[in-house]
Amino acid sequence: MTVITRFAPSPTGHLHVGNIRAALHNWLWARKSGGRFLLRLDDTDLERSRPEYAESIKADLKWLGLDWDGEEKQSERFALYEARFAALKASGHVYPAYETSQELELRRKVLLGRGLPPVYDRAALALTPDQIAAYEAEGRTPHWRFKLDHEQPIVWTDLIRGEQRFDPKLLSDPVIRRADGSWLYMLPSVIDDVDMGVTHVLRGEDHVSNTATQIQMFSALGAPLPQFAHEALLTGSEGKLSKRLGSLGVAHFREIGLEPAAIASLLARLGSSQPIEPFADRAPLIETFDFAHFGRAPARFDEAELASLNQKIVHQLPYEAVADRLPAGMDAVAWAAIRPNLETVAGAADWWQIVTGPIAASEAAEEDRDFLAAAHRILSDAAFDADIWRTLTGALKEETGRKGKTLFHPLRRALTGLDHGPDMGQLLPLIGREEALKRLAVAG
């Protein structure tokens, strides 16, 4: 069996971190299994779906490195839905219902007021031909419901949650088509999963009850069941579901300079028993991905943890991976020198400015002026090579008796304008003799 997974977003908005996690997990499982990862745009809601959102979703997936092996749009598959719908009508698996949304809401409130579950009572099945004719004379058109088999318990073994059981008598027959003929999510999703040969449906635990009803739809269509995995939802760092998670997407991550590898490293294992580690290469994440590692406890998404992972991944990146994002003139040697001090690749520009200048001049303390003058003299005469920092500080130590902070700090301050930064042994050769002498003279 070829494993086929799918990511099926609705192009009614941008992807958020929860969507990204679902897409990543489906991609990882397909890649681990040597299977196929499909992108399906669930755009049956023609009023809210937008081409710009569809393009945004695809651009986000590309930036994240989640390549797909096939693409479908539900809006181009209506003929297939009509054919399957007609077959379900003929077999008695769907039925028309004439209640208005206001009437259904009133019934729901009455049931809740009595302490009963708000399950649809199937009143539509008891309508007489005269009643139906009267509704149609009023101008009502029916919506359509899928008729659940009350005699067939719904049972499946979830790849994350284990055995799941639902009593269909406690579920409402789901509405699958509106009175205006438009489709709701439930049936087209099943029809597409069957037609596309999807073998694994991985999504959030908020879809568990949808899966219960959809399982009977697979059966009504005479199709084999895919395997299901429902993962715990993400929570914010404050320990509860956060509205902020719905606003965090690729645009935000790119704006703050995060690497796709950092996002993958966190989301691939978030909610699992595996350690979250900084992987610049996806291969270990693919190799170790397993539904068995995931639990049912909510998964806590922490932006600070993501930032820390990003920093560690930036420190792994070779020059070739970032060259096109570095400021002009910054070569592999400069990247190696500056990289250990970066939180994001974009931060390299700030450090390169320290190298190339100008820097904010800072006047040295009175007790350091003779010391910096000596540094200027020694630097003027010394051979300016890769060991120039060691040569300079060695000579200054011998001449002045300074060591430790009193030796190194005034030099760093004069040469960079900062109290911290990359290894001066690597930075000074990048600054160059002429610029270094100029800065020592200004500071002293």
Give 123-177 as a DSSP string: GGGG--HHHHHHHHHTT---EEEE---TTS-EEEEETTTEEEEE-GGGSPPPEEE
User: How many angstroms from the chain centroid is the CA of residue 365?
Assistant: 50
Location of structure tokens 């088999």: 149
Which burial class, exposed, middle or buried, applies to 109 when counting CB atoms under 10 A from its CB (0-12, 13-18, 19+)? exposed
Per DSSP, the three-state class of 300 is: strand
Backbone angles phi, psi at 12, to 5 degrees: -110, 5
Indicate the annotated binding residues: 243
Are 281 and 263 a contacting pair, CB within 8 Å?
A: no
Amino acid letter, 269: R
In three-state secondary structure terms, 336 is helix
Q: Which CATH number fits domain 243-314: 3.30.360.10, 3.90.550.10, 2.30.30.40, 1.10.1160.10?
A: 1.10.1160.10
User: Residue 318, preceding bond cis, omega within 30 degrees?
Assistant: no
- pLDDT confidence of residue 164: 98
Burial class (CB in 10 A: 0-12, 13-18, 19+), 80: middle
Task: Kindly state the percentage of the chain with pLDDT values over 70.
Answer: 99
- Residue-range domain boundaries for the chain: 243-314, 319-356, 366-443
Closest CA to 6 of 146, 191, 135: 191
Q: Find the mean pLDDT for residues 189-205.
A: 97
Look at residue 56 in the predicted model and tell me its pLDDT. Answer: 97
Query: Percentage of residues in the chain with pLDDT exceeding 90?
Result: 93
Residues β-bridged to residue 5? 37, 200
Tens digits of residue pLDDT in 233-279:
999 876 666 667 888 899 999 999 999 999 999 999 999 999 999 99
Confidence of residue 317 (pLDDT cuts 50, 70, 90): very high
Provide the pLDDT confidence category of residue 6 given band limits of 50, 70 and 90.
very high
Distance from chain centroid for Cα 322: 21
Predicted local confidence at residue 360, as pLDDT: 86
Q: Which of 155, 158, 153 is nearest to 200 (CA)?
A: 158
Q: What is the pLDDT of residue 24?
A: 98
- What average pLDDT does range 283-306 have in this prediction? 95
Q: Which CATH architecture has domain 366-443?
A: Orthogonal Bundle (1.10)
Q: Is residue 323 pLDDT above 70, yes or no?
A: yes
E runs forming strands in 243-361:
299-300
Token pair of 14 as six digits = 């941008």
Is residue 220's pLDDT more than 70?
Answer: yes
- Tell me the binding residues for ATP: 243
Using 50, 70 and 90 to split pLDDT, how confident is the model at 363?
Answer: confident
As a whole number, mean pLDDT of residues 107-129 equals: 94
Q: Which pLDDT value is given to residue 237?
A: 74
Write the single-letter amino acid at 268: A
Coil, helix or strand for 197? coil
- H or E element, residue 284: helix 283-288
pLDDT at 247: 81
Given this chain, do its domains 243-314 and 366-443 carry the same CATH topology? Answer: no
Burial call 379-403: b when 16+ CB within 10 Å, e when fewer: beeeebeeebbebbbebbeeeeebe
How high does pLDDT run on average in the chain?
95
Query: Bigger pLDDT: 211 or 362?
Result: 211
Q: Longest C-alpha distance within the chain, in Å? A: 110
Query: Which residues are registered as beta bridge partners of 387?
Result: none
pLDDT exceeds cutoff 70 at 8: yes
Closest CA to 332 of 312, 343, 348, 347: 348
| End-to-end CA, the chain | 75
- Residue 392 amino acid letter: L
DSSP conformation class of 65? T
